Structure 1
């Protein structure tokens, strides 16, 4: 809702939630019309795109119902909880000439576009190795039970711990990687529940993985390591290492994240050299992190988009806007169809710790 203002070509017809109290609070706060049921949403001829923001285990059923009703669908990650269900949805959308698109929208950020332009220009030569971090910090140790949305809804911490951080967060890294380097050829991953006690109320629950790490081999020749967790200090950076230099994106959740470039053999900045000298002089590593190279400037914009507060400074509606524009022009948006399924498949492989897994052919 915060970023809907960035896209005046879209009109929110109404909202529905299976929780009547939460629906009423949301509709009142944002001054939007509530629907009586999902059937009412699907029967409304003014609705062209259904935006599915339900919990992951509900995605398949809602997506299928909307597509069957002849609606285009924009779905939060993942499309479904199995590769088979995701494939079924893609086939259904194709049969009915509908666009099934998937989140996350951070793969459409200004930062991603800047990074893509640097790679296309050969700034670091041929990319060889990538490190993608999606660590959100020890959330379960925070006072998350007191967190509320702007309309007053509680943050569903217990359910997030049940689903696991990989299904919730790995897509933010995967969307960048697939958009920059193409399809994944092989996945080798492990996942684990490293902190089974997430606090009062979670002792008897079956919790999902709170850590995963996987190596992705891309058909383009790039190899990437993706780490996702809920215990390590917050780090959502991306490091791309080429044969002529390195690109570092500080935060994949920031629409205009600082981006740094360092060429191989380039003279390091005075600050970097000073820190190196000081550490050698003191004989210890200092608690300071400097990003390599020089910060790259963004093209100037006439106005800044409305974004949520830190830490999720993502234009969440941009994915829907790109989908709507593509539908109007008779085109296919990048994060739709088989590509959306591909991202779902990669994330499912990371979440389940599948080793030597080969995603379906795009």
Structure 2
């Protein structure tokens, strides 16, 4: 997970919106890598309470260092604070930034308590500011491709959805040696303490909300199935490493979402409609393959041949084949250097900040902000807690 050579600050346009990063840990490099895709954004500087880490990050990216949080919050060149601190600090930083008159883009979740997230959203409304929340994968090309196909009736009316956010048995991998491009350690111990749901459920719920609208009811279960996560975790109180929730949308669509740190990696989305099935292979891929089975698409020749071979052999073959035909994107991928992370995702992390900046200049509230961000935070907190009966507030 290390980059080969230091990078320079991305080029920006003359009217670019100034941003400041608060927190320069592992995920900050993903934002810096993808910032080059958005010339409407300009990094003014960065701050981290870990001075050594801040120096390392700013040296690598040729970024300006703020000597204090207050210096970033009071810099008139900064319009948007990008909150990349640990989740326990999200609420406090959000409130300080809003009180300083800054728009905020916050990594997930907005807060670890629903009432704190609600207080931050209320303050943003009061100050006529935008508080938006990650993740940005529901702003991807794959999301828009999927939504267009559904809106065109490619699978009929959606009825049932299976969302997977299984990250594999990460705790059995050599995670202690993982580093970001600028040298930050992967915060494995902290992620195990936080749990798989708060870390990953948002990648699926943001898609579910964008495709099917508000979630009216949540019924969930979560547990710690593997309490031994290896050296350094023996005496810690670890978060859930498995959760499953059933989400009922106000539109009538029902979804089952599973998150975990043990089952084989699977980040797919399967949408069953009245006339066909749509499968997004990887929600972490900006241009994931999108398959459709049934309806006008039918089954692919390869899938039919595979099914016939299994029937003749009388057994399942030892690999998984995604059903349906791959539906091509209406436009090819842009030419030029790929500035998305190479691994483990292909998410444009900075796209959410760019959407916030555009909405800010147009005097609008983006879909990823305000009460929508609060709504999704409540849903993820309910999934993490394993609440059996919960009705989130509606956006």
Q: Which category describes the TM-score, using the shorter chain as reference length? A: over 0.9
Asked whether the 8 Å contact 2:297–2:325 carries over to 1, the reply is no
Specify which of 94, 105, 118 is matched with residue 87 of structure 1. 118
Provide the C-alpha distance between the structure 2 equivalents of 1:268 and 1:238, rounded to a whole number of angstroms: 18
Deviation of 1:301 after TM superposition, in Å, equals: 4.3
Provide the C-alpha distance between the structure 1 equivalents of 2:334 and 2:180, rounded to a whole number of angstroms: 30
In the alignment, structure 1 segments of 5+ residues that lack a partner are none
Give the alignment of 1:1-362 within 5 angstroms: 1-264=32-295, 267-298=298-329, 299-303=331-335, 306-362=339-395
Provide the C-alpha distance between the structure 2 equivalents of 1:104 and 1:266, rounded to a whole number of angstroms: 31
Q: Deviations over 1:278-316 (max 9, x none)?
A: 212222111121212110111224436520012211000
Q: Deviations over 1:6-55 (max 9, x none)?
A: 00111000001111111110000000011111111111111100000111
Deviation of 1:181 after TM superposition, in Å, equals: 0.4
Q: Deviations over 1:48-96 (max 9, x none)?
A: 0000011111100000000011000000000001110000000000000
TM-score, structure 2 as length reference: 0.90
CA RMSD in angstroms, aligned pairs only: 1.1
Provide the C-alpha distance between the structure 2 equivalents of 1:182 and 1:90, rounded to a whole number of angstroms: 19
Aligned in 2, Cα 1:278/1:32: closer, same or farther, shift over 3 Å?
A: same
Provide the C-alpha distance between the structure 1 equivalents of 2:59 and 2:121, rounded to a whole number of angstroms: 35
| Partner SS for 1:45 | coil
Provide the C-alpha distance between the structure 1 equivalents of 2:298 and 2:74, rounded to a whole number of angstroms: 63
Structure 1 runs (4+) deviating above 4 angstroms are 264-267
Aligned in 2, Cα 1:265/1:281: closer, same or farther, shift over 3 Å?
A: farther
Provide the C-alpha distance between the structure 2 equivalents of 1:361 and 1:266, rounded to a whole number of angstroms: 36
Provide the C-alpha distance between the structure 1 equivalents of 2:339 and 2:390, rounded to a whole number of angstroms: 40
